[in-house]
Amino acid sequence: MDKWKYVGKRLILASFTLLMISFVVFFVIQLPPGDYVDSLVTDMIAQGETVTTADIANLRTMYGVNRPFIIQYADWLKGIVTGDWGTSFYYNQSVLVKIGETLGATLMISLITLLVTYMIAIPIAIYSAKHQYSIGDYIFTFIGFVGMAIPHFLLAILLMFMSYKITGKPIMGLFPEGGVTDWASFLEFLKRLIIPTIVISLSGACGLIRSVRAQMLDEQEKPYVLCTRAKGVSEQTITNKYEMRAILNPIVSGLGGMISGIFNGSTITAIVLMLPTQGPILLKALQSQDVYLSGGILLISATLVVLGTLVSDLLLAVLDPRIKYLEESK
C-alpha cells in the first residue's frame, strides 16, 4: 500500500510540475519585446512592401497575438490536452506535423547518446577508482576536465576537420542521400552517427565519471568494505556485489538532468553538423517568436526531463530502502 502511495504522490507531483512548466515556458517565450507580427512586418518592409497600421492590426487579429496573455495560454493548454497544438506561424504548418518531422531523429540520437554515455562512463569511473593515482587514472581525469571544458560546437568542428583529413570529405548530416535502403547506406548512417554521439555524450560522460569515481572512492573506505576485504573476499566480488549497488544511487538520480542535457544540448551541434533534429527548428522558432512551435518543442523537452526524474525517483525507491523508510515515517 505504501509503495502505491509513493508512486501516486510522484505522479501527482510530476503532473503539477508539468503544468507549472507549461505556464513558465509560454510566459518566457513571450518576454522578448514584440511578437511574431513585428518580425513579419520587419521582413515585409525589408523586402520593399508597404505595410499600413490597419494591415498590422489585421495581422495581429489573424494570428491571435492581440489577445491577453492568459487567454492565449488557456487556448494553447487546451489544445495541448486535446491534441491540437496549433499552427506554426513561421512554417505555416501544424505544430505536431512539424515536430514529428524531426522528433524521431532527435529521440534516436538522444537515446543512443544516453546509452553510450553510461556504457563508457561507468567502467572508466570504476577503473579510475580502483587504480587511484595510476597513469590511467591521471589520463582519464585529464580527459574528463578537457571534455567538460571544451564547447560542443568546437569539438564538432575539430572532428569534422579530422574526418575530412582522413576520408577526404567532411561527414555532415545524419542520413545518406536517398535514406537508409540497403546495407551500404546503413553503414554510411552508422559512420555519420559517430561524431554526433561523441560530441553530445562527452560532457555528460565526463561529469558522470567524476561523480561515480568520487562515490566509489568514498565507498572503498567504509568499514563494511574493509571488513569484507579482510575476510578474503575477492576484489571483483566486492566491486560487483557491494560497491556497485552503492554507486547506483548517484547514477540513477542524475537521469533526469542527463536526459535534459542530451536533448537540449545538441542544438548548436546539430546546426554545425546539419543534423535533422529539433535544435535548428527550435532556434528558428525562438528567433521568429513562433510561440506555438517553440512552446511545443520546449514542452516536449520538459516532459522528458520530468519523466526522467520520475523514473529515477521510482528506481531510487527500489534501490535504496532508506527512501521507503522516510516516506513511511512521514
pLDDT tens for each residue of 155-172: 888 888 888 888 777 677
Question: pLDDT at residue 95 above 70?
Answer: yes
Whether 311 and 209 have beta carbons less than 8 Å apart is answered as: no
The reported pLDDT for the residue numbered 247 is 77
Dist. CA 320–CA 330, nearest whole Å: 17
Q: At what angle do helices 95-130 and 291-319 cross, to 10 degrees?
A: 40
The reported pLDDT for the residue numbered 58 is 84
The reported pLDDT for the residue numbered 330 is 47
Q: At what angle do helices 255-264 and 291-319 cross, to 10 degrees?
A: 150
Burial class from Cβ neighbours inside 10 Å (0-12, 13-18, 19+) for residue 91 reads middle
**Alpha-carbon distances of 157 from 106, 124, 152, 271, rounded to whole Å:** 20, 26, 9, 11
What does residue 93 show for φ and ψ, rounded to 5 degrees?
-145, 155
CATH class for domain 95-329?
Answer: mainly alpha
Domain ranges of the chain: 95-329
The reported pLDDT for the residue numbered 329 is 45
* Of the listed ranges 54-63, 116-125, 176-185, the one predicted with least confidence: 176-185
Among 306, 214, 202, 222, CA closest to 251: 214
In this structure, the strands spanning 93-94 and 87-88 are antiparallel
Which residue bears the cell 570504476? 126
How do residues 70-82 score in pLDDT, each as one tens digit?
A: 888 888 888 888 8
Report, as an integer, the average pLDDT of 26-52: 79
The reported pLDDT for the residue numbered 321 is 64
Question: pLDDT at residue 207 above 60?
Answer: yes
Q: Is 181 helix (H, G, I), strand (E, B) or coil?
A: coil
* Of the listed ranges 95-109, 178-192, 197-211, 219-233, the one predicted with least confidence: 178-192
List the grid coordinates of 195.
Answer: 561524431
Q: Where are the alpha helices (DSSP H) in 29-94?
A: 36-46, 53-63, 69-82
Q: Which residues contact 134 (CB under 8 A, 6 or more apart)?
A: none
* Of the listed ranges 50-59, 163-172, 260-269, the one predicted with least confidence: 260-269
Question: pLDDT at residue 7 above 80?
Answer: no
Dist. CA 264–CA 14, nearest whole Å: 20
Question: pLDDT at residue 98 above 50?
Answer: yes
How do residues 284-324 score in pLDDT, each as one tens digit?
A: 888 888 888 888 888 888 888 888 888 887 777 777 666 65
Whether 69 and 244 have beta carbons less than 8 Å apart is answered as: no
Among 289, 298, 292, 297, CA closest to 30: 289
Question: pLDDT at residue 197 above 80?
Answer: yes
What pTM was computed for the model?
0.78
Dist. CA 210–CA 257, nearest whole Å: 15
What is the rounded average pLDDT for all residues in the chain?
A: 81
The reported pLDDT for the residue numbered 325 is 46
Report, as an integer, the average pLDDT of 188-214: 85
